[in-house]
Amino acid sequence: MDVAVTRIELPHPVRAVASDGSTVWCAADDGVRVYTPSGRLLEGGTLLSREPPALRSLAAVPGTVPAVGAVPGTLAETVVVPRSFAGSPGQTLHRDGPLSGGMLAGAARDRVHWLDASGGPVAAAPFEGRVVAGGGAIWAVGDGVARRLTGPGELGEPLELPALDACAVEGERLWWTSKRDDVLRGGPQEVDLGRRRRGAMTVCAGSLWISVTGGLLRVSAWSGEPGRLVRAPEGPVPFLVCANGVLAGGGRDLFVLAPAAGAALRVVRLGLDAPPALMIAAGRHVWVFPEGPPGALIVTPAP
What is the CATH classification number for the domain harbouring 188?
Answer: 2.130.10.10
Whether the per-residue pLDDT at 83 is higher than 70: the answer is: no
The mean pLDDT of 198-227, rounded to a whole number, is 96
What average pLDDT does the chain have? 86
At residue 208's C-alpha, the angle toward residues 234 and 282, to 5°, is 75
Buried/exposed code over 249-261 (b: 16+ C-beta within 10 A; e: otherwise) = bbbeebbbbbbee
* H or E segment and range at residue 83: helix 83-86
DSSP code at position 212: E
Q: How many domains does the chain have?
A: 1
pTM of the model: 0.88
Q: How confident is the model at residue 74 (pLDDT cuts 50, 70, 90)?
A: very low
The pLDDT value recorded for residue 87 is 37
Residues 5-24: tens digit of each pLDDT: 999 999 999 999 999 999 99
Give the structural domain span for 8: 2-302
The pLDDT value recorded for residue 147 is 98
Residue type, 170: E
The pLDDT value recorded for residue 203 is 97
Q: How confident is the model at residue 257 (pLDDT cuts 50, 70, 90)?
A: very high
Q: How confident is the model at residue 3 (pLDDT cuts 50, 70, 90)?
A: confident
